[in-house]
Amino acid sequence: MSAAPAIQTREDREQILAALPSSTRRVQVRGSDNKTIYKRPDDIDLDNDEVLLSNTGKPIVMRGKPGRKVTRLTPVSDNVEEVMEARSDHLKADHLLSTTLSGAENEEVMDTLLASLAQEAASIAFEKAEAERHGQDTSSLAVKRARVLKMTADTWLKRRDKNLGGTIDLDSPAFEALFAFILETLRGAMDDAGLRQEHVETVFAKISKRLADTWKEEAKARMREKV
Q: CA 167 to CA 222: how far, in whole Å?
A: 13
Task: Please indicate, yes or no, whether residues 113 and 154 belong to a single structural domain of this protein.
Answer: yes
What percent of the chain stands above pLDDT 70? 82
Q: Is residue 135 part of a domain?
A: yes
**Domain span holding position 143:** 104-164
| Same domain, residue pair 108 and 125 | yes
Number of domains in the chain: 3
Q: Domain for residue 29, yes or no?
A: yes
Higher pLDDT, 73 or 150: 150
- Please indicate, yes or no, if residue 42 is contained in any of the structural domains: yes
Single out the residue of 98, 112, 92, 223 nearest to residue 170, CA to CA. Answer: 223
* pLDDT at position 51: 92
pLDDT of 200: 85
Residue 4: per-residue pLDDT = 47
Supply the pLDDT for residue 1: 45
**b/e sequence 17-33, b meaning 16+ C-beta within 10 Å:** beeeeeeeebbbbeeee
Does residue 68 register a pLDDT over 50? yes
Q: Examine the domain organization and report whether 119 and 158 are in the same domain.
A: yes
User: Residue 142 and residue 125: Cα distance in Å, rounded?
Assistant: 8
- Is pLDDT at 44 greater than 90 in this prediction? yes
User: Is 98 within the bounds of a domain?
Assistant: no
Question: Is residue 123 included in any domain, yes or no?
Answer: yes
Q: How far is CA 3 from CA 6, 7, 30, 56, in A?
A: 9, 12, 21, 17
Q: What is the four-CA torsion angle of 206, 208, 210, 212, rounded to 10 degrees?
A: -150
Mean pLDDT along residues 108-137? 87
* In-domain check, residue 71: no
Average pLDDT, the chain: 80
Q: Look up the pTM and report it.
A: 0.38
> Are 127 and 160 in a shared domain?
yes
The pLDDT > 90 percentage for the chain reads 10
pLDDT tens readout for residues 1-37:
444 456 889 898 999 999 888 888 889 999 888 888 8
Whether 145 is covered by a domain: the verdict is: yes
Q: Examine the domain organization and report whether 194 and 213 are in the same domain.
A: yes
Please report the pLDDT score of residue 50 as a whole number: 92
75 part of a folded domain: no
Q: Are residues 155 and 110 in the same domain?
A: yes
- Cβ 60 vs Cβ 28: under 8 Å: yes
Phi, psi of 136, rounded to the nearest 5 degrees: -95, 160
Q: Are residues 137 and 189 in the same domain?
A: no
Rounded-to-integer distance, Cα 5 and Cα 2, Å = 9
